[in-house]
Structure 1
Amino acid sequence: MKNAFGVATLVASMAGMLLAGCDNTADQKVDAARMRATETTQQLKEARDSYRADWQSFKRETELVIVANERAIDSLATQITKAGKKAKVEYAKDLAVLEQKNMQLKKKLADYSDQGETAWETFKTDVKHELEGIGDTMRDLYKRIG
């Protein structure tokens, strides 16, 4: 009987240690998961802050280019007045198209809303492409007028 009682006590104490050890491991796993979640949240916040800073920088730079385009368009309009009658009509049409594209780009920039990183990258690429197109058209018009 003493032997059976001793075995039962040994089994019970082993089971208790085993369960206590599992509980400790579970607590460690929960702590590790919380730490990973905190790190992930911090990384997301940093990425969001970086995106916002990138957006503000891009917006300021693009607005400056649009204003420079407006000045260049005004300069071209002044130069067109010195051209011949037939050339004036052609240049005025080209200038009107340039002015319209620049205004559309300005509106597109003002209307942009956050739609995620992929949409942001697409938007940024499109705006840069449109700016290059406007710049190329202006340079071409300057060459033809000048």
Structure 2
Amino acid sequence: MKKTLAIFIVAAFTAATALVSCQSPEKNVDNAEEKVTDAKEDLKDAKQNAADEAIKTASVEEWNMFKSEAELKIKNNKTRIEDLKTKMNKKGKSMDMEYENRIDSLEQKNMDLQTRMDNYEHSKTDWESFKTEFNHDMEGLGQALKDVTVNNKK
């Protein structure tokens, strides 16, 4: 009798636990949808916070120093381009069209850098990104000016 009673109590306890812990499928779906919505909101907030942290503007002193250095580099590039044009016209023999096109292309890139710097001064967008890209492009232009007279034809 004790064994039967013990089995009955365990069976009743197991059945009661199973009934209490089960939820309807609709309730499970509702809970899952709520969790997904909360997760999406958390992700959106995290992205916004990250974007706010990433977009930083330059301080006035930092911008003025960067601007003066960049203007000096642009001016030096302009002088080098003018020297290349003078050498091209001075030699007496006409330079090939490709050489002239490369010089014109470099002159346009130099003017584009000046324009980008002027545009940044008015928009004040993401400082770190602008500075990195601008310096990269400026270094590329400087290297191209050094390599303009190198003949890569074989």
Select the structure with the greater relative contact order (CA < 8 A; seq sep ≥ 6): 2
Return the alpha-carbon distance in structure 2 between the equivalents of residues 53 and 123 of structure 1. Answer: 16
- Code of the residue aligned with 2:64 in structure 1: it is Q
- Code of the residue aligned with 1:124 in structure 2: it is K
Percent of aligned positions that are identical? 35
Tell me the equivalent position of 2:139: 132
Return the alpha-carbon distance in structure 2 between the equivalents of residues 131 and 83 of structure 1. Answer: 32
TM-score scaled by structure 1?
Answer: 0.58
| 1:1-146 equivalences in 2 (<5 Å) | 51-81=59-89, 82=91, 84-85=93-94, 87-112=95-120, 113-115=123-125, 119-144=126-151
Return the alpha-carbon distance in structure 2 between the equivalents of residues 54 and 71 of structure 1. Answer: 26
Return the alpha-carbon distance in structure 1 between the equivalents of residues 113 and 81 of structure 2. Answer: 14
Structure having the larger proportion of residues in helix: 1
Return the alpha-carbon distance in structure 2 between the equivalents of residues 57 and 69 of structure 1. Answer: 18
8 Å CA contact 1:102–1:134 kept in 2: the answer is yes
8 Å CA contact 1:73–1:99 kept in 2: the answer is yes
- Structure 1 residue runs without a partner (length 5+): 1-46
**Which SS does the other structure have where 1:64 is aligned?**
helix
- Code of the residue aligned with 2:144 in structure 1: it is T
8 Å CA contact 1:98–1:138 kept in 2: the answer is yes
- Structure 2 residue runs without a partner (length 5+): 1-55
Q: 1:108 to 1:79 in 2, by over 3 A?
A: same
RMSD across aligned C-alpha pairs, in angstroms?
2.0
| Number of equivalences | 93
Tell me the equivalent position of 2:15: none
